[in-house]
Amino acid sequence: MRTDKWLYYFTCALITIGMIFSLSLSSYTVLLLGATPLHFFYRQCAVGIACIAVMWIVSRADPDKCLTPVCMSLFAIMGILMLAMGFLPKSLVADVNGAARWIRLPFFNLAPVEFFKVGFIYFLAWSFSRKLDHSKKSIGREIATLLPYVALFGFVVILVAIVQNDLGQVAVLGLTMIFMSLFAGTSFKLIGFSFMGILGLAYVFIVTSAHRVDRVRSWWGGVQDFVLSFMSPETAAGLRIEDASAPYQVGHSLNAINNGEFFGQGLGLGSFKLGYLSEVHTDFVLAGIAEEWGFIGILLIVVLFYAMLFRIFQTASKSPSNVNFLFCLGIGFMFFFSFIINSYGITSISPVKGIAVPFLSYGGSHLLAASFAVGLVLMASKRAKF
């Protein structure tokens, strides 16, 4: 059986574009940090080339022998590392923008949560395939079946949202878990209850954190005039926040996207990366690409990204193993929701959550974890019946 070569090619193309923009969009950041002009480019190229090799190496393994032990090991080891980070000395834990999510290693900062997500998705696929099916059940029986998963997700919330202060990753994992459970056999009625539960949980986490409240107020300050224009004056007056200001980063992100117009300013010729959008090569990379490559460039990114997702979902649909089917679906949903949450954030459709764009944002851990996940899907594709 051969692996899905098109999935490999599409992913390599996205990684290559990410390398290109790690050079183009970091020109001001290297001056600010006093680094060499090619600092971020060299690092991203080294990681990108390693990731392309990792995908190929992982894809060569036998899925019947390797997929379960590798993914379960990721789930266990990375979960333990995330728990241990609170007890590690400060010299071993990197704090970036107030979030201690990285373990310092030689030449590399490891974010365990990125790899934990892959292991968690496989664990859900393995467990769902044994506990859930498409037979008709009462809502009470469904709730009883899913209660252990709710408890497990509660532990994940504590581990990621509280210990690591990363609500964005919880949102991605929560949405992925809900859609995996739907395809595993959960009824639409229970899915609706699950969405309500996640919204309630998100509300609690927002109102109990001052910086999250400020972020939501800032986002609302930027969109309230447009949204309230569709409401009655009385309703609008009750919802309007007079002292809320539009978010600085998102405002410049929208200006950068607008400045790109249809064909863009040209590679390397964007102006909003020059101090207006700080570290645009990370979470706001799509805004930087839109300014330099315009609508055409974003269209290319979207086509490549959704072509990659199509191949992942096709591998899922053709997999004879229910575990592989759910796992590939989960990986596809993880990428999809990460892309959507980031793109909605930079265009002010939703508050910014600090989620990286898979394969495009600068950073070693998320790129390596995403590439490893694609390698596992490639491994599973050898048993898919195309």
d(C-alpha 120, C-alpha 89), whole Å: 27
Give the mean pLDDT of 192-203: 76
Total number of domains constituting the chain: 1
pLDDT at 245: 65
Residues β-bridged to residue 105: 108
- Maximal C-alpha separation, the chain: 65
Higher per-residue pLDDT: 108 or 368:
368
Quote the DSSP letter at residue 86: G
Give the mean pLDDT of 349-370: 89
Quote the DSSP letter at residue 87: G
Q: How many whole angstroms from its chain centre is CA 384? A: 26
Quote the DSSP letter at residue 105: E
Share of the chain above pLDDT 70, in %: 94
Higher per-residue pLDDT: 351 or 55:
55
pLDDT digits (tens, 9 = 90+) for 234-248: 777 777 777 666 677
pLDDT at 95: 64
pLDDT at 22: 93
Neighbours of 360 (CB within 10 A): 26
pLDDT digits (tens, 9 = 90+) for 80-98: 988 888 777 777 877 665 5
- Which pLDDT band, with edges at 50, 70 and 90, does 383 fall under? confident
d(C-alpha 362, C-alpha 231), whole Å: 41
The residue among 126, 121, 114 whose CA lies nearest residue 68 is: 126
Give the mean pLDDT of 254-258: 90
Does residue 244 sit in helix, strand or coil? coil
DSSP run (H or E) holding 111: none
Residues β-bridged to residue 95: 100
- Which pLDDT band, with edges at 50, 70 and 90, does 352 fall under? confident
Residue 340 has pLDDT above 90, yes or no: yes
- Indicate the range of 13-17, 43-47, 104-108 predicted with least confidence: 104-108
Backbone dihedral region of 165: left (phi > 0), alpha (psi from -120 to 50 degrees) or beta? left
Does residue 58 sit in helix, strand or coil? helix
Higher per-residue pLDDT: 386 or 60:
60
pLDDT at 70: 95
- Which pLDDT band, with edges at 50, 70 and 90, does 329 fall under? very high
The residue among 9, 11, 3 whose CA lies nearest residue 57 is: 3
d(C-alpha 104, C-alpha 116), whole Å: 17
- Which pLDDT band, with edges at 50, 70 and 90, does 281 fall under? confident
Does residue 103 sit in helix, strand or coil? strand
Given 3-state DSSP classes, what are the helix, strand and coil percentages for the chain, each rounded to the nearest 5?
70, 5, 25
Environment class of 382 (CB within 10 Å of its CB; exposed 0-12, middle 13-18, buried 19+): middle
Q: Which domain holds residue 91?
A: 5-382
Q: Are strands 108-110 and 93-96 parallel, antiparallel or unpaired?
A: unpaired
Residue 198 has pLDDT above 80, yes or no: no
Give the mean pLDDT of 200-222: 75
- Which pLDDT band, with edges at 50, 70 and 90, does 287 fall under? very high
What residues contact 134, with CB distance under 8 A and at least 6 apart? 185
d(C-alpha 88, C-alpha 100), whole Å: 11
Environment class of 64 (CB within 10 Å of its CB; exposed 0-12, middle 13-18, buried 19+): exposed
The residue among 171, 148, 156 whose CA lies nearest residue 112 is: 156
pLDDT digits (tens, 9 = 90+) for 28-76: 888 888 888 898 999 999 999 999 999 999 999 999 999 999 999 999 9
Average of per-residue pLDDT values in the chain: 86
- Which pLDDT band, with edges at 50, 70 and 90, does 251 fall under? confident
Find out whether 217 and 241 touch, Cβ atoms under 8 Å.
Answer: yes
d(C-alpha 272, C-alpha 281), whole Å: 11
d(C-alpha 284, C-alpha 331), whole Å: 23
Does residue 104 sit in helix, strand or coil? strand
Higher per-residue pLDDT: 37 or 303:
303
d(C-alpha 319, C-alpha 296), whole Å: 35
